[in-house]
A and B are shown apart, each in its own frame.
Chain A
Amino acid sequence: MVRKETQKYDSLTLQLNLTRVCGLILLGVHWMITSGKSTGMLLLLGLLIFLTLCQYLPNNPWILLGGGIFVGCLGFIVPTVAISFSIPVFEGFLRNKPFWILPGFFLGYFGWEINLTLIFILIFAGLLGRLHKTARQEKDYYKYQWDRERRSRYETEGLNEELLSLRQEVIEMTELSERNRIAQQLHDDVGHELTGAVLGLQAFRSMMEDGRLQPSEKELFNKIVERVNNSSWILRETVHNMKPYVLLGIENLNLLIKDFKDIPVNFKVFGNTEKVPMHYWILLRTALKEGLTNVLRHSKASRVLAQLDITPSVLRFSLENDGIALGRFFEEGMGIRSLRQRTKAYGGTFSVVKEKEHFRLVIVLPLPKEEGYHE
């Protein structure tokens, strides 16, 4: 069942308030039946104020102390009010602060008429308060657990969505990367070979111009030259068309930094970027975006330093501001948590350092070992 957002009281609070009201009504009835003197009204009003304050300021022990002393002092005027001490006793045990009502008890001890029924009622009130307290603790515990579960569920759902979108992105990027590789290879290997062949054939033709070749043989030779020329042209076109127009890898990061106009970013790269897998670049791009957004949002940085170190075995990416903080420090949000989990999934480590005037994000990722590589 969907609960209304405007619901003000839970069942436990309602039950607690009902217990208080019932206690007060019972006392009122007892007063009307027994004495009916005007002092009783003073007591009832005092207790009503005490209970209302207990409801509004539940963690203030001074109210307990005041309530206890009030009933205790009243005992000197009207000895029969002792029974009303059950209300401070109930509240004292409910707040788990029974010692705060002891001064009132000792005061009243000299004024009240104490009998077995009174002791029984006071013990009963204390137990009832304790019972309410336990129920409240249980409720708080379940509420806390429920909140945690719900947060965890939201995070999982968020991660799931992110992973689904990432999956598509990785597929696209991998395809582009592969196209890039093929284009590069065609250009570097086949293209150069063909150009060499064309040049060779042209040289051969000039040499054979005055030779004794039959016209039909010359025609055949010219056709071969023309076909090789065409092939070279088609290859150039294919390479040109295959080359992705989207920037990949390190160029993508450079473009991001170039587009980030708010704070100057000093980006340094060390090592060979070609051996970094495509899915790492996607992670690094997200980390760079997230880091820059956090610096922009939570600090008054005038410069940002980003650094990418690629060694044969690991990749280390760091991003930090120059230390002029705003005074309000950021809390880990969904983006940072997601980055942490993705880095962990790739076998790397992720850390965010939040010092007084500093924000630093570091990602370390293992690189796949090359075949035949020896240290």
Chain B
Amino acid sequence: MRHLLSTTDLTREDALLILDTAAELARVTDRAVKKLPTLRGRTVVNLFFEDSTRTRISFEAAAKRLSADVITFSAKGSSVSKGESLKDTALTLEAMGADAVVVRHQASGAPYRLAHSGWVGCSVVNAGDGTHEHPTQALLDAFTLREHLGDLQGRRIVIVGDVLHSRVARSNAHLLSTLGACVTLVAPPTLLPVGVETWPCAVSYDLDEALEGADAVMMLRVQNERMNAAFFPSTHEYSRRYGLDTRRAALLSDDAVVLHPGPMNRGMEISADVADGARSVIVEQVTNGVSVRMAVLYLVLGARAEDQGGLLPAAEAVPA
């Protein structure tokens, strides 16, 4: 795996390798020395065309714990805001010797384009592109779910909210079903993409019904700009029909967990008492993000140029 662009590219084995690697790396966090020398001398560039403090910091921490040099390039105050193109920015970073580029971009497919256009030769990790995918978010969600539920095979996971515009939903729907979970998407019909019936998930418009006995529920953020664009009549109605409150959380199975990729609209898609309640693993998601991103950077940067396919080199010889 030279790049991580989409969860649809991951086989079950790939996904498990990332998650198992992350689980080992998570234990480094408990040590006195929280650093590994693995990527010493390598340069990871965080290229953020969109503001996202939490994802950027998470990738920064991950790269630094693996001893990589980190250069962060944010749209604000850089030449990007002066109209420099993705290509020119990428060429600049390549010239600076980047081994991997972690890219967040408002255009769907920008990381794919970066990886396949021939502009740069380094590895590309998608840190969220437009309304396409956010694979490391899905991986950290899956990691968090596995910590609580164990093997996800056959587990019932409900994803609720603006699936249409959510890269988190896209990445999770595919990854969680690759891992064997039964995913149900719940949203008003206006916020489901055309063709959602071809996704490897069930679809429901009825949140109560979907939550009954579910093992986990993931609430998606409703973006401010959707609230006045006729996707639903009012925030009140949305909240009533698709918000997670204490009554609804009680419908879940006993050991079920509540996830939210953040940032939350408390009182809108999730009530404050559920967000802060015992089932909520929202803070853990942030912690797990660092371990998952360490695993991804290690696996991507460790890949040799000729390993275009799976995550691991083909030959598995283990010399002493």
Q: Do A and B come from one complex?
A: no
